[in-house]
Structure 1
Amino acid sequence: MLVHVLREYNVNKIFLSRLGLWPFQSKLVRNSLPIFYLVLEISYYPFEILMFYDHQDDAQMVFESCYQLVISTAFLARLWNEIWNRDKFRCLYEAMNDHWNIFTNDLERRILKEYSTVSRKFTIFYSIMMYLLSSMFIVIPLTPAFLDIVLPLNESRPRILAIDVEFRVDMNEYFKPLFCYTTAIIVVGISIMVAADTMHFTCTTHACSLFSIIGEQIETITLHRDVEKCGRCVNEKFKSSDEQAMYQEYITCLKKYQLALKFVDILNSTHQTVAVFFLLLIGATLSLIGIRIVYVLDQMEEMIRFTFIIMGALLQLMIMCYSGQKLMDESQNIFYRAYAAKWYMYSPRIKSLLITTFYRSFTPCSLTAGKLVPLSMTTYAAVIRAGMSYFTAFLSIKE
């Protein structure tokens, strides 16, 4: 029973359970729900391709179908990654629970609690933001239907769906079932993103808390010494018993450091493949939506809807890159804290432990996209620049 995980990260568990992505659910739920949502999202592909085929001479509709294909692919990639790496996610959650049993003193518990509180607040804020944006994206196209009730005309206003797609049926006759279908596609896609993104942020934040704890402990251990003052000189010496105690404390600290490194390795292995797709898909989304906005500059409702999509894409990219940057900073802080100690005054065997710490912590831990690109704020800026470059290229083609 994951007592600590269920207590500290229960909100994340709820989001994952609704999609059958919580690895500790019953086997029936874990197998049936993800497959159902996977089939639901895949079922939308033929209509997107059909729209591209029917309107291949219309540049506006071509860009419309392209950005929809990109976003649908992002939903599917995220869901498939959760299904494919289910066992690794199970190991991650079990490790998180074990860490609460291993890091047990007051300092360690306080830091773990602070970081878990941050992740819980973020999960709530991010979920509210994403569902609010998606709700407005769905509701805004219903404005004509609301106006028909409030300010009716002699004839009904034209009805449109939240996303343009070619069903090859009478839109007015089948509007309600089509609206329910497209709404389900959007809500399920957003739910996948919310569940996966918030849990990824939570796991990364937990890793940051482990590095923060280790850094604090290194400072505490290396500052523990006896000081003997002889006139105007200060001689710092370690008694044999103090040196032995310090050595044992440092060994324990390094063992906890190994746990943190192992946790980050598992976390990175669950996202490094899908991160490549996401960087490419988000860059493509920004450029394609930018072109799509150019076509609707005189339509305020459409402008607002597409702005919501861009905000959502930038928010997801920010989560991925900022959490990776935070992990790099926290892991490298161990090097700075260890280097700040007066290592030259310690015994040879303690020096050897410090050298080991220097060697490992000099290169920060990082989350990577395909073992090539570190997820950092530099990558965030690079993806946005690339998206803008392709936007200008597509814009020249349009003109």
Structure 2
Amino acid sequence: MICLETQHFNINRILLLIIGLWPYQRSLLVELHLILLFGTLLTFIIFQLTTFITSECTMDHIYKVLSSAFFYICFAIKYNSFLINANIIRSSLKQLQDVCNEIEDKYELAIIEKYGNKAKRITIILLLFGMLYQFIFILLYIWPYIHRIFTNKSRLHFSPYILTEYFIDEEKYSYLIMVHRHAASCIGLLTIIATGTILLTYLQHICALFSIAGYRIEQAIDVLQKGGFKNEQKSCKEIIRAVNIHCKAMMFSNFLISNFEGSFFFLIAAGMVCLSCNLLRIASFTGNIGQLVLPLLTLSTLYIYLFLSNYTAQEVSDHNEYVFATIYNVRWYMAPIRIQKMILFLLQKGTTSFYLILGGIFVASMQSAASLASTSISYFTVLYSTRQD
């Protein structure tokens, strides 16, 4: 038997524990931890938006503030979505574990193991990318100190990569502001990685369930071919088991995604604003490398998230189609009439495509990912032409 929490979700569990979002063992200490981290993230967003109060609201200023503020708003949306859907995450893991507990075939267990290991590899790669992002982000702010050491300059020249207004003496409390800034960045990155990878791990296991359904269909026809009509009853049972696990995979994926509809809607909207504004910052590059690095990091993070999430959703749809392709390809026409009728119903069901719907309106697929990327570039083009005018 496979224990998903310890074998396939162990890295996700650690990441969610760090940011206080693991849905189990929610003690008072964990709640305080959660409030502290979420509060740090929200206050950093607020102190970016307060620059509109004290500074002249030119178009350049607006784009610069929104390009970073909406990046952290994306983090906050993801954090809040898992905060309010803790019961959904817990229930989803229980449902998936119950399905896995019913699996006894060694080949089927190997399929679960294969997709679980794939999800773990992707999680580790994304975690390394997040560490690289945070390292570069910190390096941007400590570079003036390093530059002063090698050039023997007495004065430091800081570039405001992220504009903030704390309504205090920022030179006097520079170290506290620095801690707040980097803590918010670290919390945000951990949030987007932890929440994104656990959803990815769930979807990879759904792909595994679809693969098992296809395997059971193949086994059902093989039983008939090897044993003749004597094994008709056993073949019927295999088909029923295939249909059951296929239905459970579809119900499980719909249950998981439907509870995040509102969060995905606001995440897509905030992401579009962030992408467009950061593209505008890159187009407005004036020679300061530091001012170019941060928008590039932000764009790479959002585009990776956009394409990886849609690629995983596309995999779910492709695995569902694989089940029906398997039914078409097996020699079902040589089966008894009773089994042919069962397979006919399956083939009719396969005429309707299965997609994951994000935000209630967005069909998750690679085509949709490309469409969203194109939309962000279109918005940037409109904004840039307005700025030029």
Task: Pick the TM interval, shorter chain.
Answer: over 0.9
Partner of 2:311: 322
Aligned equivalent of 1:111: 111
1:333 to 2:332 alignment: no
- For the pair shown, the structure with the greater C-alpha radius of gyration is 1
Note the C-alpha offset of 1:139.
1.6
**Which residue does 1:130 correspond to in 2?**
130
Amino acid at match of 2:249: A
5+ residue gaps, structure 1: 228-236
- AA aligned to 2:190 is S
1:359 is aligned to 348
- Percent of aligned pairs with the same amino acid: 21
1:91 correspondence with 2:91: yes
RMSD after superposition: 2.1
**Counterpart of 1:397?**
386
Alignment CA distance shift 1:100-1:115 (3 Å): same
- Choose which of 277, 281, 289 in structure 2 pairs with 1:292: 281
SS for the counterpart of 2:164 is coil
SS of the aligned residue for 1:43 comes to helix
Deviation at 1:226, TM superposition (A): 3.9
1:231-246 map, 5 Å: 238-239=228-229, 241-246=230-235
**Structure 2: unaligned runs, 5 residues or longer:** none
Alpha-carbon distance in structure 1 between the residues aligned to 2:86 and 2:318: 28
Deviation at 1:209, TM superposition (A): 0.7
Q: Partner of 1:11 in structure 2?
A: 11
Structure 2 equivalent of residue 257 of structure 1:
246
Displacement of 1:43 in angstroms is 1.4
Q: Find the partner of 2:362 among 373, 377, 384.
A: 373
CA pair 391-91 structure 1, distance change in 2 beyond 3 A: same
How far apart are the structure 2 equivalents of 1:361 and 1:141? Answer: 55
CA drift of 1:339 comes to 1.6
Distance 2:316 2:265 in 1: 19
User: Which deviations, in whole Å up to 9, do the C-alpha atoms of 1:193-215 show, x marking residues without a partner?
Assistant: 01101101101101001101111
Cα deviation for residue 397 of structure 1 reads 1.7
CA deviation after TM superposition for structure 1 residue 378, in Å = 0.8
Matched residue pairs, number?
388
Partner residue of 2:335?
346
Q: 1:287 to 1:238 in 2, by over 3 A?
A: same
Superposition pairs of residues 67-86 of structure 1, within 5 angstroms? 67-86=67-86
Deviations 1:233-267 (A, max 9, x none): xxxx942x211111122122222222212211222
Matched residues in 2 for 1:349 and 1:27: separation? 56
- TM-score after normalising by structure 2: 0.93
How far 1:152 sits from its partner (Å)? 1.9
Question: 8 Å contact 1:273–1:370 — kept in the other structure?
Answer: yes
Higher relative contact order structure (alpha carbons within 8 Å, sequence separation ≥ 6) = 2
Match in the other structure for 1:188: 187
CA distance in structure 2 between the aligned counterparts of 1:124 and 1:297, rounded to whole angstroms: 36
Residue number in structure 2 paired with 1:54: 54
Structure 2 CA distance, aligned partners of 1:39 and 1:179?
16
AA partner of residue 158 (structure 1): H
TM-score for both structures, normalised by structure 1: 0.91
